[in-house]
Amino acid sequence: RKEVEQDPGPFNVPEGATVAFNCTYSNSASQSFFWYRQDCRKEPKLLMSVYSSGNEDGRFTAQLNRASQYISLLIRDSKLSDSATYLCVVSGNTGKLIFGQGTTLQVKP
């Protein structure tokens, strides 16, 4: 079983739609959680951290469920520019960050 698992998609949605991505992790001792975004042929970049209480950044909302070892990312009012691959990232207390395979989002006009 992979340490971090994501549905690879692709998710094809129209502009303005709401879309949600899920991620599960296997190590219950994991401490830090992130969502990264990767555009085609580019390096990954941090989108947002994920906090236990849930957090929001504009149209993006991240949630963490430690009991179920589950992380989610919700994107509201999708834009064409949101098309990318979204990577779930999990870290323990050693500094080691493990990436999921990524979920591809394609927003259509």
Partner 1 sequence: DAGVIQSPRHEVTEMGQEVTLRCKPISGHDYLFWYRQTMMRGLELLIYFNNNVPIDDSGMPEDRFSAKMPNASFSTLKIQPSEPRDSAVYFCASSFLGGELKKLFFGSGTQLSVL
* Interacting residues with partner 1 (CB under 8 A): 31-32, 34, 36, 42-46, 49, 87, 89, 91, 94-102
Q: Which is nearer to partner 1, 78 or 105 (CB)?
A: 105
Which of 82, 86, 76, 90 minimizes the C-alpha distance to 106? 82
Q: Which is nearer to partner 1, 11 or 78 (CB)?
A: 11
Nearest distance, CB of residue 109 and partner 1, angstroms? 26
Residue given tokens 């990264």 in the structure block: 36
